[in-house]
Amino acid sequence: MIYFGPSGNPEDFYADGNKSSEQMPKWLFESGLNAYEYPCSKGVNIGELKANQIGSEAAKYGIRLSIHAPYYINFASDIEENLMKSRKWLTDSMVAATWMGADRVVFHPGSATGIDRKIALTRVNKQMQVVLKEAEELGVDHITLCPELMGKVNQLGTLEEVIQICKTDDRLTPCIDFGHLHARDFGRLNSTEDFEIVIRMLWDQLGRERGRGFHCHFSRIEYTAKGGEKKHHTFADKEYGPDFDLLVPLIYKYDLLPVFICESNGTMAKDALEMKKLYESYQR
């Protein structure tokens, strides 16, 4: 099964008179979608009751849930206090995911500003082992952690770095953000072949299971002259890439089973539905 859904609550959801995230699963189901990424980007502020409510609605309507962990996480820091806080943000997200019945937590690995990237990556990999151990102790290590491919050049999380992080433990699955990849590499995704290089890398280096079932963020994106993400756009802003329809043939060719989360600016549910339709209407 392939999953399509939005990151957070789109404008249409509120325009339809809804107020709270507990209403999202039903609304998504009625919209024809089956995934929802709940944002804890500004902190894990959700309580157990609300998480349970979202979870039971999601179970009722067949919506697959994931959580986006706080943006403040930085596992490349050399300050122990920052690392401790980062681990806590991540394990708190895993606890919330458990309450909710979500099976994945997406996170930003860290900042490479002013540090040699190899040193930064070594620090992140070391922290992955510590945080997984802590997750085991909390009984939440059944949640899959997804380090995200990042859009800004000074952030740790190139395609290669995300693969290296995932190689350290089977419980890590990449979050491939194609918009971010496109932005940080000056618009590199312009053909199905360009996407195929990425899929083959995942497949060759992480094996069949993670090569097929990775987590995926998708949006059209604007990048700066120096490379790197400037702004997420909507699918209607056709002057910005990448195009989802270039990826569609590869879903069939490699029998991919990703969770596709659309991160369009405000129209993430409408655009997730467009992705689903492009996938379903593809003629082999």
| Residues that bind Zn ion in the complex, under the rule CB under 5 A | 148
- Spatial strand order of the sheet with 144-147 comes to 35-39, 64-68, 104-107, 144-147
Nearer to Zn ion, 64 or 152 (CB): 152
DSSP label at residue 238: T
How near is the Cβ of 228 to Zn ion at its closest, in Å?
Answer: 14
Nearer to Zn ion, 221 or 248 (CB): 221
Nearer to Zn ion, 152 or 210 (CB): 152
Nearer to Zn ion, 148 or 243 (CB): 148
Nearer to Zn ion, 53 or 234 (CB): 234
How near is the Cβ of 148 to Zn ion at its closest, in Å?
Answer: 5
80-100 vs 48-61: helix crossing angle, rounded to 10: 50
- Among candidates 153, 189, 147, 141, which has minimal Cα distance to 166? 147
Terminal alpha carbon distance of the chain: 18
How near is the Cβ of 43 to Zn ion at its closest, in Å?
Answer: 15
Nearer to Zn ion, 147 or 241 (CB): 147
How near is the Cβ of 41 to Zn ion at its closest, in Å?
Answer: 7
Nearest residue to Zn ion, using CB? 148
Total H helices, total E strands in the chain: 10, 12
How near is the Cβ of 155 to Zn ion at its closest, in Å?
Answer: 10
How near is the Cβ of 107 to Zn ion at its closest, in Å?
Answer: 8
Those residues with Cβ within 8 angstroms of residue 219's Cβ, 6 or more apart along the chain or in another chain: 179, 232, 233, 262, 263, 264, 265, 268, 271
- Asked if residues 52 and 63 have their Cβ atoms less than 8 Å apart, the reply is no
- Asked if residues 1 and 278 have their Cβ atoms less than 8 Å apart, the reply is no
- The CA distance from 16 to 14, in Å, is 5
